[in-house]
Every structure is written in structure tokens, then in C-alpha cells.
Structure 1
């Protein structure tokens, strides 16, 4: 990828300078416009200064919770389908919003005047001070071009609703194992700090040689008692540093590579990302976008850096006129069902529908395997807890037996 320096202005005329990593200058322009900035000057930079990737949002843009965006889009699509015009629909949504101070409501309210002056909805949202996803803007733009914004809003709300539900399922499945792990860890720390050290005077006066595991638990207790606060500060600092690092482009790339390299889990993540790509591409095609533009915007919803770069290479092949199914075969790692249904879609002219159906099949498979994995996680953690507590009890009993033997001998 090449590095470009840019000088751009936002909708209010404020200047923004920085550096972007992208395949070409057109990609930089596309990214800046998607973030609501208007490019003034773009140059290739070879100084090696720090930059952000073309999929990173620029500073100053707030991210919208997907659940809020879904609710807004669903209500907006319903109003448009009922025959209400765009400015009136937006005004109704602003007036009935639960929180007048929410960034989304404020951004929509500021967009109404621009729309009444003749600006399109997609162009107006680009100038907002919050970040609307690139595929979201593209879908609205496609609806405006074909004259069916209500249908585009419905497709977007369905897509966002499915995305939110899948995320909630994953969070719900991980709550029990997380609580169980926290309780187990806290219990073992409590035993090491307060329980085993209470036996120390008795064990030391007996003069007995302590078992290996008892020595380990006593050592952990000493460390936690004497350096517990330092360890807590160190762990908190490590967590904060990790969060900041993984928020950077380099950190995201490292984390993505690590997760994709994990056995079983890595393949599930990759399949989930491929399903998201297929669903977004299909939705954008259904909304009226050409294949090249649909693929370009669909790449932005892929969170894995390595997979996104691989899928982004498909754009150049599409520009050369190659068939989409042949490109997917060349990329490698694609599930066979994606390739086969893409071939059928190209042959029948139903690529948009079949890509969305493909995404549904992959998501069902991923969800089924993820549920099986999380269902095994709870019992697995329980077994580990049992082993830890059992080891603790055995170490105490062995220590007591050793002390008794030393006293009576």
C-alpha cells in the first residue's frame, strides 16, 4: 500500500491534515468523502510519517451504536413507505427521539435544513459530525439514484437488525463463562491470601518439609499479600496500554492476525467476516449499486485487516473485467458454497439474492458451531475450577500430614 498526505475540509470549513495508507489516490478521495471531508490536496508521501489506514475513521468523528442506527433506519423506512417526504420523516424522528442530546438525533436535526435546500440525504449525512458506515451511505445513495429510498432503508434496517442480534447472541453466550471465570479466580486468590497462610505458623513450628504444591500456594499468597497493590496497578496499566495499542491500525492488524491463527475460533471468525462481506455486497447490489462499487464498500465492513486487504485485491480484478466467481477462487480460503452460489448468481442474474442467501447459510453454520463451543466452555471452566480447588485441598491435607508426621516422629 502507498502512503498519501492529505489536506481536506469538513462541512463547516474546518481544516483536517493527515496521512492515509491506501492502494491509490482514488481510494484516499473515496475514504475522505465517506467521512464527510472534502479533499483539497492529496500527495504521495515518502517521509515515513505515521498514518492511518483507509478504513480508519478520522479524528473528530463519533461512532454511532448500531442498535441506535438500526432503530432510526427502521422508523425512517416505515415513514417513507407510508408516503411521508424525507424532511418531514426526519423531523418526526427528531421530535419523537428519546434523547434530544444524542449525537444521532443532533446530526439528523442539522441535516434537515440542508435537505430542504436541495441537498441529498446521503450527501447531508456525509457532512455530519458523527460517522455513518460507508456501506450505509452507499446504500442510501443507491436508493436515491434508483428512486426507491424506502426500499434501501428497509434493506439497511434488516441488515443492521441481523448484525445487532448476532452480536447480542455472542455477548449473551459469553456472560456465564466470564462470571464463572471471575468467581473461580477470585476464590483461588482468596484461598492463597487468607486461608493457606493461616496454616503457616503450625507448619513452621512442626519443622516438616512442605509438599511442592503447598509451597507454591504459600508463595502466591506471599506475593499477593506483599505486592498485591503493585500487581493491581501493573495489570490495570497493562490493560490500558493494550486497549490503546489495539485501537491503532497496527494493533488491530496484530490482534486480527492472532485471532485468525487460533484453531477452530480463527476459522469461525473468518467465516463470520466472509458472511458479513457477502451480505453487504448482496444488499448493495440489491440497492442498485454496480458490482465494483458494492465490493468496494463491502470491504469496509470487514474488521479483519488481513482478510480485508485480501478482499480489496478483488476490486482491481473486477476493473479488469474478470468474473467475480473466478476472483473468489483465486483469493483462496473461500467456502465452496460462496464460490458455487456466486457462479449460479452470475449465470442467472440473481447474484444479489444468492449472496445474501449464502451469507445466511454461513451465519447459521457459524452460529451453530459457536453455540456448541460456548456450551462446552461452561463445563470446561467448571472442570478447571474443580481441579484448582481439589489441588488446593490436597496441598493443605498433605501439609497437615507432613506436619503431624514430623511432630510424632
Structure 2
């Protein structure tokens, strides 16, 4: 939902703009976090955004994460060259290939030029496009006078994260494709081919082999209860999907994922890579450690890791260093916490976090490659045994008759 609001900032200046939130309560919370005193807020029309990697606006077109990376790089270069922020945004709006992203950039320019808002405040009005990580790093860059550096770091972070995501997605495509093909071929055999052979065998009469009987029974069962089984299957999948959206469901699924052999270790490595890279990037940009941990927890991608970060954050707030709370959660391996400890002691925490992230990126890459190499022959074997077994069971009576005739 989009809300139009009028508010006063810390200097007493009146600000009128729009904000996206799921309801008015969330909108008010966001405005309070921006240190604005709201005088009026109403539901209105504006940009509607959905999705994670691609963002849908106005019911058509998409903004890709690559667009945001290019935007960050180009804006950093222009600012470093001495161009004003308003001029830079104006140039970028004219260069944008996506007309929808152009509208977003023009809105940013309007908020900065006309409303006099910092870029970070303007970005925070589009949370589905510019994450809390993005907004806070820009804010830290504005405060420290290193906005160009912060934008370049953001682009590098997004590129590194995107590379891992693409690797995982690419590795998952093959098993999904083989699995889909197996199910499709199996259903086609049971629904169309087996009934045809069953009719032929019925005309000939005689006793059928056991495997053939089982195959014909499964075919008849599937044909008779196809709609019922479909409703149960899709209903169950829908219920599971809805459950996975609840906090309890997310926690249950994430805990289960971590316990699955091989896959669980890969999920853990991905989470550690993401957490350490995000935290290192934020600390390097000058974001306070508590605020950084707050953002890291929300972007961890795993509820178990998110809860561990939340526990660590509360203990850091109470005066502890970051190392022991993270170690006590049991989520992070000793090597990770030891390197973080060294980083704290030497004053180079962000460097150590980046080294940990780079190490785990390599671990994830090796694990994904190994998993793909294992899954490929396994999936082919399953396809061969499953479909091949059905075909053999289907032709057993013919083989039997050929043997009898030959005898």
C-alpha cells in the first residue's frame, strides 16, 4: 500500500511525500524511525512493488537487481567526479533503460531537490527496491562524506551476493528439470500407455506377471482418483506454502533444512557467507554495530541464524563484545568466531569479516559443484530405474509370450 503523508523533520521543516507499507501502522513506524513528526497521513496511489530479485511496478515491467548495481556504480562515479547529487540523478533518469526505474529515479531527484531530503531518506520510501542495508549504508556515507565509496561498496556487495545466488540457481536447475521430466513421463505412461496395453492383455486373457499387475493397478487407481489426488496434492502444497510464510513455519522449515545431510551444511555456509559479508560491508561503511546487527538479522535468509543474531545483538547492547555472543549461539563455527575475535582485537573487524565471507563463498562454490556432480548421475539413475522399470513391467507379458512361442 502507498501512503501520502505530511510531516515535520528535526529542523521543523515540513515534508510532504509518499511511503510504501503494508498498513498504516507500519507506515507510522517507518516515519518515526526516520525521525519525522507526522501531521497527516492518508492512503494514496503510487508505486507498487513486488518480488525480491525483480520488482514489479504499475502492473508492468521489471526492475532487476543488475539495474540497481549499475545505478550505484554510475552514481558513485558522478559524485566522485564532482557532479551534484541532483544533476547526477537527472542524468541517470535519462539514461535508465527501464521507464519504470526512470520513474523511481525521478522521484528520488524530486525528494532531494524539492523536498530537500537526504538521498537515504528518499531511498527509504522504496523499501522493496532499496533494502535497509542499502539505505543505511548510504546514510552512513552521507554522514561521513564518503557517499561515492559507500555506493561502490554496495555495488560490490550486490555483485558478490548475486554471483553466489546465480551459482546455486544454476546448480538447482538440472535436478529440477530431470525431476519434472521423470514425473511427466511417469504420468503419461500411467494415464495413456498402460491403459492401452491393459486392454490388449485383457483381450488375450491369461495370467499377467506380478509387476505388470501392480503397474495396471496403479494406472487404474490414478485414472479413477486423478482429480481427488490432484486436489489433495495441490491443497497440501498450498497449505504448506501458507505455513512456510508464518514465523513458526519459517523457523520449522529452516531448522529442518539445517538438519538435512549435505544440504544442511550448504545452507549453513550460505548463511554464514551472507551474514559476514553484510556485516563487514556495514561496519566498513561506518554503520554502528547494533544497527548493523539489526540489518544483518533481517537479511540472513534463515530464521535460525536470524534468531542467533538477535540474541547476539541483545548481549552486545548489554556491553559484551560481538565474538562470545556469536560463539554461544552454536550457529557459527569456531573458525568464524576466532577470526572475528582477532578482527576486534586488531581493530580490523571489517577486513576479517570480508575474509570469512570470501572463504565461505569459495566453500559454497565447491559444495555446489560437488553436489551437482553427485546429483547428476543420481537423478539419471532414478530416471532410468523408475521409467525403465515401468517399461519392463509393461512388456513382461510380451516377453513371456515370446518365450512360450519360442519354446
TM range (shorter): 0.7 to 0.9
TM-score, normalised to structure 2, is: 0.81
Q: Secondary structure at the match of 1:83?
A: coil
Residues 159-189 of structure 1: per-residue CA shift (max 9 Å, x gap)? 0011112111112222222222222222222
Find the counterpart in structure 2 of residue 326 from structure 1.
324
Distance (whole Å) between structure 2 residues aligned to residue 303 and residue 204 of structure 1: 56
Do the aligned residues in 2 keep the contact of 1:94 with 1:105 (CA within 8 Å)?
A: yes
Distance (whole Å) between structure 1 residues aligned to residue 262 and residue 32 of structure 2: 38
For 1:235-250, list aligned pairs within 5 A.
235-250=233-248
Do the aligned residues in 1 keep the contact of 2:20 with 2:125 (CA within 8 Å)?
A: no
Distance (whole Å) between structure 2 residues aligned to residue 172 and residue 408 of structure 1: 51
Consecutive unaligned residues in structure 1, runs of 5 or more: 1-6, 21-27, 42-58
C-alpha spacing 1:82/1:111, structure 2 compared with 1 (3 Å): same
Consecutive unaligned residues in structure 2, runs of 5 or more: 7-16, 40-46, 56-63
Q: Secondary structure at the match of 1:292?
A: helix
Residues 183-212 of structure 1: per-residue CA shift (max 9 Å, x gap)? 222222222223222222343344433333
Distance (whole Å) between structure 1 residues aligned to residue 347 and residue 112 of structure 2: 35
How far does residue 350 in structure 1 lie from its aligned partner after superposition? 0.6
Select 2:148's aligned residue among 133, 147, 150: 150
Do the aligned residues in 2 keep the contact of 1:203 with 1:403 (CA within 8 Å)?
A: no
For 1:268-283, list aligned pairs within 5 A.
268-283=266-281
**Count of aligned pairs between the two proteins:** 375
For 1:3-402, list aligned pairs within 5 A.
11-12=17-18, 16-18=23-25, 29=29, 62-63=50-51, 64=55, 65-100=64-99, 102=100, 104-116=101-113, 117-128=115-126, 130-228=128-226, 231-232=229-230, 235-400=233-398
Residues 222-278 of structure 1: per-residue CA shift (max 9 Å, x gap)? 244444455445545554554444344444333323322222211211221121111
Distance (whole Å) between structure 2 residues aligned to residue 281 and residue 157 of structure 1: 15
Q: Secondary structure at the match of 2:301?
A: coil
Deviates more, 1:184-193 or 1:224-233: 224-233
TM-score, normalised to structure 1, is: 0.81
Do the aligned residues in 2 keep the contact of 1:61 with 1:129 (CA within 8 Å)?
A: no
How far does residue 286 in structure 1 lie from its aligned partner after superposition? 0.6
For the aligned residue pairs, the C-alpha RMSD in angstroms reads 3.3
C-alpha spacing 1:404/1:91, structure 2 compared with 1 (3 Å): same
Structure ranking higher on relative contact order (CA contacts 8 Å, 6+ apart): 1
C-alpha spacing 1:378/1:37, structure 2 compared with 1 (3 Å): farther
Distance (whole Å) between structure 1 residues aligned to residue 222 and residue 36 of structure 2: 56
